[in-house]
Structure 1
Amino acid sequence: MTLFTAQNFTHMSQTRLPPEVWLNIVRYSSRHDVLYNLSYVSSEFNRYANTLLYCSIEWEWQEVPFHCILRLLENLVTYPELGRYICYLRIERTDPFLNYDWEPPRRERYWRYRVPSEHGELYQRLRNHIFDLNLPDTTRWVEEVRHGNPYVFVALTLSFCSNLRYLSLDYSFVQMGGWPGRLITAAYNATPAAHPRLPRTSRRRSSSLRRGRQMAGSGVRGIPRFEMLEKVFYGHNVPDTWHRGNSGPLYPQVHPHQFQGLFYLPAVWSLGVWLRHPPTFAESPHRVLNIGRIRDLCIVRATIQETDIEQILRRATSVVWLHLGLSYHPVTGRPFQTPGNPVLNGLLAVRDTVALLSVGVEYEIIGFRHALTDQDRRNWAQFYGFLHQFRRLVDVELPIQMLLGVNGHPTADRPTLGSVLPPTVSELVIRWDNWRAWPGWTRGQILGAIQQHLLNTLYLTPELEIVTVRMWRGLPVFPRDTQLLREQMLGATGVEVAEYTDAMTRGLMPTRPGPLAW
């Protein structure tokens, strides 16, 4: 077998093969150490190897060492042209977990008092780079760099990634300052203007630092507008929070300006976001809202006003897959109490385009125990039968209360499951949200409503193939307890009935692949 040495590659690189062919040849060397060695063969192979070494970056946020974050940023500051190779960036916590007190996956500051001497030159370069970007609140960015804030370092990494196509960031980036979102927002708030002069103290540098600034600023002056970014998931993995009582913990406060820029990105068609503050919907010649071009929209555990939800959905004229997750304050908020029911109005605004619909309704304390009032019953009853207005609906996931009301006991005015579902639905997921509300629904009552539909009114939903009951993973329920009943329903009707437990975060159709699996 022929060994691929540096001499062999140097000789082969002189042959007249198109660059695309060489790139495909190098792509077979998936090991990073091989690609790293190839990058030293010649300038040509350095370009091919860097294309593959930097094109995709995936980090487990709770595990990636701090020095890896620094090393990547140092390489980008020294060689800014490497940033254009980065197309895929995914930094998030992926293991299942509960969050009792909103402790972030990693600490916010790694340098307690001053920048370590071995990182002094990197600090100076980053400081100059921040001034070049003309970021709002520049001194705060510089201060966080001085303290070794990894969330800021990742945000500054984005400033080099002008060709980024996919971005997925952990929920803690929203919680811990919102630096990446603030960077994107700043890119669209800035108007074309000359950059300010650096402070006098920053101009007193050694010649080596001056050369470092020239390298750091070449081609990166100003924030990129991420015009190739197609998929953005920003905090979409926000965890479920559990507390034995009704006192908390409540959601942490976050920076309000980190979400605006997400709705200006011109090429984004898939957006998932833990939306804590609404966009302003302001437009100008250099920033145009992109909501109307989004096809997959996942709003996770949003705490914004219901009227803002309506405004977003009214502008989402192209959305095909929609997850709307609403989270309410346990003291000051009750679902759908806003006059006119803007949430229902917003959902009906997308009825002609949505084929896959998912809605979640919960409180900031996921196990919040509260008594339901007559007003609550009237608020939820406004949704009776609204699905019939969706012409293309195939898969649907809704809280049981949105389908059949807040009370599991049969009443004269409570509809049946068959009467509220459109005939086009092939998969139904029933969310057992707000299970501690009383009087509410029990697991047995939900299965009873499903059984009644399958045995008596299945003809109303001829396309129905599977019904799933989705429950929070902290509940003491076991699918094997109801296995016999579910098998009997399958044998009698041919429709599968399943039970599924998880964190109840974003819309999930457990039996179907595709964007719902995210």
Structure 2
Amino acid sequence: MNWTWKYTVPLRKLLLLFRTFFKRPGLVSSVQNLSLLSSTLSWICPTRNIIWRRESARFKDVVDKATYIIQCAQFDDAEDWKEALEGADLYAFAAVFIAQLPNIKSLCLDYSFVWLGGYPERMVTHALHSPGLALPAFKSLQLIDYWRNVPSMEEWVQDSNMDIPDEFPGSNKNDQFDGWFHLSSLQHLGIWLLNISRLKDMKKRETNLGRL
């Protein structure tokens, strides 16, 4: 499954697919590869291809089911997830969507997933720390390609008219990516890190670094 966008994220498509999977749960096991990437080479905050205030009622069933999954998984920050889902945050929906794919083997994610909320890594970390709580253990996931398309950081310096957003990658927590390094089945991890200080602090016996 390969989705590419430029400036407008495919929120409507994701919500419709979410609904299909809820109605036909047997389909989720057939998804083994997922790629969600933008084609833009600039630090531009994407927009949604849906006017949520007009169509939120149409997708209430999808929001309710996604929120229910978060509640069953007992997230400490469940209210944050709930607010994001009710506000039609594609990145939060995508993270919950990924968690419904028990046989996923490869995952390619756009740089903006880290920039705007970091929901996938929050999902993975919680799943690993809370086994059995409505989330998979991602035991089939072998390849992760994260930030392959990250734009040049020099753009922020060269363009004085660009405002650095609150969720600029440099402000993320040092332990943000820890979950990826603890996946037992992972064979390839392509990831862009601002620094590796946290990585150096990890002991190999506590992670999957020795097999990557």
Same fold (TM over 0.5): yes
Residues 1:244 and 2:158 aligned together? yes
SS at 2:84's partner residue?
helix
- 1:35-46 matches, within 5 Å, as none
Give 1:247 shift.
10
Name the CA distance, whole Å, in 1 between partners of 2:35 and 2:159.
35
CA distance in 1, matches of 2:49, 2:204: 34
Amino acid at match of 2:18: L
Which has the higher mean CA deviation after the structures are superposed, 137-146 or 73-82?
73-82
Aligned partner of residue 167 in structure 1, secondary structure:
strand
Partner secondary structure for residue 144 of structure 2: strand
Classify 1:119/1:265 alpha carbon distance in 2 versus 1 (closer, same or farther; 3 Å): same
Query: Structure 1: how far apart are the matches of 2:193 and 2:163?
Result: 18
1:369-398, Cα deviation, whole Å (9 max, x unpaired): xxxxxxxxxxxxxxxxxxxxxxxxxxxxxx
Which of 266, 269, 280 pairs up with 2:184?
266
Residues 152 and 255 from structure 1, CA distance in 2 versus in 1: closer, same or farther, beyond 3 angstroms? farther
Kindly provide the amino acid, as one letter, of the partner of residue 83 in structure 1. V
| Cα deviation digits, residues 158-207 of structure 1 (max 9, x gap) | 11111111100000000000001110111112256xxxxxxxxxxxxxxx
Q: Which moved more, 1:272-281 or 1:164-173?
A: 272-281
> Partners in 2 of 1:146 and 1:257 — Cα distance?
27
Structure 2 residue corresponding to 1:105, chosen from 34, 38, 46: 46
SS at 1:116's partner residue? helix
Q: Say whether the 8 Å CA contact 2:10–2:48 is kept in structure 1.
A: no
Per the alignment, do residues 103 and 246 of structure 1 end up closer, same or farther by CA in structure 2, a change over 3 Å counting? closer
Q: 1:248 to 1:106 in 2, by over 3 A?
A: closer
Identity level (%): 28
Q: Which residue of 2 aligns with 1:59?
A: 3
Q: Does 1:75 align with 2:20?
A: yes
Instruction: Give how far 1:254 is off.
Output: 2.9
1:78-157 aligned at under 5 Å gives the runs 78-95=23-40, 97=41, 99=42, 102-106=43-47, 111=52, 116-157=56-97
CA RMSD of aligned residues (A): 3.0
* Offset, 1:257: 4.5
Q: Which structure: larger Rg?
A: 1
Distance 1:231 1:115, change over 3 A: same
Q: Which residue does 2:208 correspond to in 1?
A: 290
The SS at the match of 2:137 is coil
Unpaired runs of 5+ residues, structure 2, are: none
Match of 1:186 among 126, 129, 145: 126
Maintained 8 Å contact 2:181/2:209: yes
Structure 1's 157 and 110: CA in aligned 2 closer, same or farther, altered over 3 A? farther
Q: Which has the higher contact order (CA 8 A, sep 6+)?
A: 2
Which SS does the other structure have where 1:160 is aligned?
A: coil
Query: How many residues are aligned here?
Result: 202
Distance 1:177 1:64, change over 3 A: closer
Contact 1:166 1:229 in 2 (8 A): yes
After superposition, residues 495-506 of structure 1 pair within 5 angstroms as none
1:109 and 1:148 in contact (8 A); partners too: no
Between Structure 1 and Structure 2, the one with more helix by share is: 2
Compared with structure 1, are the counterparts of its residues 61 and 136 closer, same or farther at alpha carbon in structure 2 (3 Å cutoff)? farther
In the alignment, the residues of structure 2 paired with residue 247 and residue 66 of structure 1 have an alpha-carbon distance, to the nearest angstrom, of 28
Structure 2 residue identity aligned to 1:93: S
In structure 1, the gaps of 5 or more residues are 1-56, 193-220, 295-518
Report if the CA contact (8 A) 1:111-1:148 is conserved: yes
Following superposition, the deviation at residue 103 of structure 1 comes to 2.3
Alpha-carbon shift at residue 264 of structure 1 (Å): 0.7
**Which amino acid letter does the alignment assign opposite residue 291 of structure 1?**
L
- Measured after TM superposition, the shift of residue 292 of structure 1 is 0.4
Alpha-carbon contact 1:109-1:149 (below 8 Å) kept: no
* Partner secondary structure for residue 152 of structure 2: coil
